[in-house]
Structure 1
Amino acid sequence: MGIVKISDLMHENLRVAGSALSRSINAQAEHWMRVGMLTEMHPELDYRDICQLLIKAELTGGLDITAAATPTAAPTTAPERPRAPATGKH
Structure 2
Amino acid sequence: MGQSIKLADDIVKDVRFEAKLLRRSVAKQAEHWLRIGQAIEQSPSFDYTRIKAALAGKFDADNLSIEEGVIFDEKIFSALEETSDAERVFFEKRQKAGLGVGEDEEGNLIYK
TM-score, length of structure 1 as denominator length: 0.47
Higher-Rg structure is 2
Q: Which has the higher helix share?
A: 2
TM-score, length of structure 2 as denominator length: 0.38
